[in-house]
């Protein structure tokens, strides 16, 4: 039986290489419209990842779709590519949304699916999706995205508290741009360059500490719960230890922190 960690590693390989697996049973599609990336995931009837697709994108900002045409075009292209590689036709999909957004904003996310010819099979809070992929029912999920840091408390698989503040990977890039006197896009590329990790972490450490402080304020009365760190902007090797120092408790981060939310969006929950 695959573990959550092995399934996540398998999905990450599929996304990065374009490889697919032969599905067993019906295939379900999940769509994650992130601030920095759009990721599609496909799982089979056993919730095994069978394929994925992604593209860097800025169609969402602070939990709001700001580029409608860009979002629809990107999802349609990724859907068609993934369907072609799997040899299936997708007629519906689950979609992830930021926790706590109003129904009107959530409707925009499902409208993107409908504009691509996909029925919205389920609308999933992002922390619930991440927790599903991690096999977690009770815990604190800290999601460090490109635009915001979200902190969600889950008990019995339900979000009981959610905090979202505008400090994310975008702000790291602004710090690098200002500190090194370079253009934003150049700083963004530098941030992703493994060979420059030492320089980058030295400059963005205060930003990571601010993110950890957001989490600490939101979870002072949740000491009994384990803490999980996800999101592409938490990918720096030192991120877990920085959060641990501020929170004063262990922090677990998967090897591929960008991918729990899209994979968990596609996965069937017990009620399905």
pLDDT in the model for residue 240: 97
* pLDDT higher than 80, residue 269: no
CA dist., res. 91 & res. 264, Å (int):
19
∠ Cα 4 157 104 (to 5°): 110
CA dist., res. 141 & res. 127, Å (int):
6
Per-residue pLDDT of 189-244, as tens digits, reads: 999 999 999 999 999 999 999 999 999 999 999 999 999 999 999 999 999 999 99
> Radius of gyration of the chain from Cα atoms?
18
CA dist., res. 223 & res. 235, Å (int):
24
* CA nearest neighbour of 191 among 217, 169, 210: 169
CA dist., res. 110 & res. 21, Å (int):
27
* CA nearest neighbour of 92 among 78, 110, 65: 110
β-pair type (139-144, 227-230): parallel
**Residues 250 and 227 sit within 8 Å (Cβ to Cβ):** yes
Mean pLDDT value of segment 113-129: 93
Mean pLDDT value of segment 127-148: 92
Q: Higher model confidence: residue 225 or residue 271?
A: 225
Per-residue pLDDT of 20-71, as tens digits, reads: 999 999 999 999 998 788 999 999 999 999 999 999 887 777 667 778 888 8
pLDDT in the model for residue 148: 85
* pLDDT higher than 60, residue 272: no
Per-residue pLDDT of 80-114, as tens digits, reads: 999 999 999 999 999 998 877 788 888 989 999 99
pTM value is 0.91
* pLDDT higher than 70, residue 248: yes
């Amino acid at each position: 039986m695959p573990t959550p960690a092995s399934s996540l590693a398998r999905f990450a390989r599929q996304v990065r290489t374009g490889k697919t697996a032969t599905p067993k049973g019906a295939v379900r599609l999940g769509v994650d419209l992130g601030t920095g990336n759009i990721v599609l995931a496909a799982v089979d009837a056993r919730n095994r990842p069978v394929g994925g697709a992604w593209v860097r994108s800025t169609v969402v900002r602070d939990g709001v779709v700001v580029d409608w045409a860009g979002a629809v075009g990107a999802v349609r292209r990724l859907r068609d590519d993934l369907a072609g590689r799997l040899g299936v036709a997708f007629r519906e999909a689950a979609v992830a949304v930021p926790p706590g957004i109003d129904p009107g904003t959530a409707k925009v996310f499902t409208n993107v699916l409908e504009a691509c010819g996909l029925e919205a099979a389920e609308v999933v809070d992002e922390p619930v999706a991440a927790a599903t992929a991690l096999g977690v029912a009770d815990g604190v999920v800290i999601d460090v995205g490109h635009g915001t840091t979200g902190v969600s408390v889950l008990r019995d698989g339900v979000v009981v508290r959610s905090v979202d503040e505008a400090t994310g990977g975008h702000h790291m890039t602004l710090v690098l741009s200002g500190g090194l006197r370079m253009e934003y896009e150049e700083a963004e590329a530098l941030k992703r360059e493994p060979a420059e990790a030492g320089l980058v972490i030295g400059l963005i450490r205060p930003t990571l500490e601010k993110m950890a402080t957001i989490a600490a304020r939101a979870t002072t009365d949740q000491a009994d719960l384990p803490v999980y760190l996800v999101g592409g902007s938490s990918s720096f090797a030192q991120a877990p230890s920085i959060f641990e120092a501020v929170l004063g408790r262990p922090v677990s981060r998967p090897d591929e922190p960008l991918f729990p939310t899209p994979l968990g969006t596609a996965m069937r929950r017990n009620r399905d």
